[in-house]
């Protein structure tokens, strides 16, 4: 049975931005792309970069540590030096609450 984890309110994340959410053992980046919400691990798969702090262009987030980048919707690598896709979490909205199920 999946466990629902509430992350934030929809109003907490402006369009075209991300916030960092820590819950349990997870440290997550929650993105708002044109009103749709996406979640991935905040810690870059390449190193110590925090993806919630990286610039966003369309559906790509750049890690500001070594400038690799990932597709926000899929977690796939867009630009090196990143090699390992970012773990993503299907993200849903219930009323004004953004949540994932793990």
Question: Which parts of this chain interact with ligand FES (CB under 6 A)?
Answer: 44, 46-49, 63, 65-66, 68, 81-82
Question: Per-residue b/e over 39-48, b at no fewer than 16 CB within 10 Å?
Answer: bbbbbbbbee
As measured in angstroms, the least distance from the Cβ of 72 to ligand FES is: 14
As measured in angstroms, the least distance from the Cβ of 70 to ligand FES is: 9
Q: Which is nearer to ligand FES, 8 or 71 (CB)?
A: 71
As measured in angstroms, the least distance from the Cβ of 96 to ligand FES is: 31
């Amino acid at each position: 049975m999946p466990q629902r984890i509430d992350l934030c309110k929809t109003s907490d994340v402006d369009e075209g931005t991300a916030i960092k959410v820590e819950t349990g053992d997870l440290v997550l980046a929650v993105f708002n792309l044109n009103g749709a919400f996406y979640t991935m691990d905040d810690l870059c798969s390449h190193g110590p970069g925090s993806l919630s702090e990286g610039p966003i262009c369309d559906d790509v987030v750049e890690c500001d540590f070594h400038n690799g980048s990932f597709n926000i919707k899929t977690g796939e690598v867009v630009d090196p030096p990143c090699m390992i896709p970012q773990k993503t979490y299907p993200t849903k909205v219930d009323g004004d609450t953004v949540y994932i199920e793990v």
